Amino acid sequence: MPVVTVTGPRQSGKTTLCRACFPELPYANLESIDTRLLATDDPRRFLARYPDGAVIDEVQNCPDLLSYLQVAVDEDPRPGRWVLTGSQNLLLLESVSQSLAGRTAVLNLLPLSYNEIVRFKNHPTSLDATLLTGSYPRILERQIPPADFLESYITTYVERDVRRISRVMDLVSFQKFLALCAGRTGQLLNMSSLGSDCGVSQPTIKAWLSLLETGFLVFRLPAWHGNINKRLTKSAKLHFWDSGLVCRLLGIHNEEQLNLHPLRGAIFESWAVSEIAKYRLHHGVSRGLFHFRDLHGSEIDLAQETAAGLSLIEIKAGTTVNRQMSTAFGRVESQLAKVGVVKKTVIYGGRERAELSGVELRPWSAAYQCGIPK
C-alpha cells in the first residue's frame, strides 16, 4: 500500500517502531506547533518537503492534510512512501476513511504482551508484579515506578485527549466513570447500572465507553451464541487492555494489597484475555473471541472460534492445580456439541504445565500461547 497507518494507545511505542522500521524516511511530528502550522496553512508546501515520503506522527492533529496526501498518493502510488501514526483513533480513522480509503493499511499497535516484556532487564517475574506493572514499554525500559507513570498517563488522557476528542466538560464525572469501569473489568457490561452509579444518562455512558474503546483503554468481549443475530443482543464482557492501569484506577499500590483484593481474579482474567487478543491481533486476526454464558449461569471465560470448532479457556488466579478448575467445561460441553469443542484449557496462576481429565493447564506466563491465530 502507498500509505501505512499505525494507531494505538499513547505510549505503546508507535513512533519508536515506525522510526526503527523506516530509518530512511524523514520524520515529521504534528505535535510540534511549527510543523503543525506549516501543515495546516500550506499543506502542499509541507508535502513537497518529502518527495520520497515520510513518517508523519500524530496526523490527527491536521486532518485536512490527508486530502492533499490523497492527491499526492494518486499521482505517485509507490508502496511504503508514507507512514502515518496517531493515538486518537476516533478522529484518525474518520479522516482516513474519508480521504485514504483503499490507499492505506491500518494496523493497531497495542501495549506489550508478556513474551515481549521478558526481553527487558529487571522485568517482573511474579504474577502480581506483572499485573501491577502493566505493559507500557516506557515503564519497563526506563524502570519508572508504575504508579507514577500511570497516574500521569490517566491525567494526560483525561485532561488532554478526552477533552480534545469529545469535548467532555464534566471531567470529574468522567474520571469517576473510568474508575467504575475498572471495578467492572472481567464482568458483564451493564450500562444502566454503570450510568446509575456514575450519575449520568445511558446515552452518555455509551458515548464515553466508545471513547475508551477508540482510545484503546478497554474492549468488549462479545457473547457467543450459535445464532449470529443473538450474539448482538447478549451482554458483552468489559476488559481493559492494561492491568497496571486497572490497578492504579482501583487504588492498588503494592503486591500485598493486590494479592488480597477481591477483584484480583477479575484483573487476572482481563490480563489473560488481553494477552490472547494481542497474540491474535499480531497474527492479523481481530475477531473470533467470545465469552459463553447460558441461562442457568454456567459460563466459560473465553471461547475461540476455529475452523474445527470452539477452543474453550477458563482463567483461574489460583496457584494450586485441583479438579475444580475443570468443572465448568462439563457444565457447558453438552450445549456446544453441535459446534464441537476441539480443545479445553485452563490458564492458572501457577508455573507448571499439567493435564487433568483431558483439560490442559497452562501457567500464567504462557497465556498468550493459547491464542489460535487461524
- Among the listed residues 263, 239, 109, the one whose alpha carbon sits nearest the alpha carbon of residue 186: 239
Estimate to the nearest angstrom the gap between the alpha carbon of 118 and the chain centroid: 19
Look at residue 96 in the predicted model and tell me its pLDDT.
Answer: 72
Between 96 and 257, the higher pLDDT residue = 257
**Per-residue model confidence as pLDDT tens digits over 48-70:** 999 999 999 988 888 889 999 99
Range in 97-101, 192-196, 201-205 the model is least confident about: 97-101
- Among the listed residues 144, 294, 129, the one whose alpha carbon sits nearest the alpha carbon of residue 225: 294
Residue partners of 37: CB distance under 8 A and separation at least 6: none
| Cα–Cα distance measured from residue 275 to residue 85, given in angstroms and rounded to the nearest whole number | 23
Report residue 128's pLDDT band, with 50, 70 and 90 as the boundaries.
Answer: very high
Report residue 89's pLDDT band, with 50, 70 and 90 as the boundaries.
Answer: low
- Among the listed residues 311, 308, 327, 252, the one whose alpha carbon sits nearest the alpha carbon of residue 279: 311
Residue 300 near residue 314 (C-beta atoms within 8 A): yes
**Per-residue model confidence as pLDDT tens digits over 202-230:** 999 998 998 898 888 999 999 987 765 56
Residue 188 near residue 235 (C-beta atoms within 8 A): yes
Between 257 and 334, the higher pLDDT residue = 257
- For the chain, domains (ranges, CATH) are 3-108 (3.40.50.300), 114-223+232-262 (1.10.10.10)
| Cα–Cα distance measured from residue 117 to residue 112, given in angstroms and rounded to the nearest whole number | 6
Give the predicted TM-score (pTM) of the model: 0.91
Report residue 326's pLDDT band, with 50, 70 and 90 as the boundaries.
Answer: confident
Q: Helix (H, G, I), strand (E, B), or coil: what is residue 48?
A: helix
| Other C-beta atoms lying within 10 Å of the C-beta of residue 214 | 19
Q: What is the side-by-side strand order in the sheet with 354-356?
A: 289-293, 299-305, 310-316, 341-348, 359-363, 354-356
Estimate to the nearest angstrom the gap between the alpha carbon of 321 and the chain centroid: 30
Any idea what the Cα angle at residue 119 is, between residues 118 and 120, rounded to 5°?
A: 90
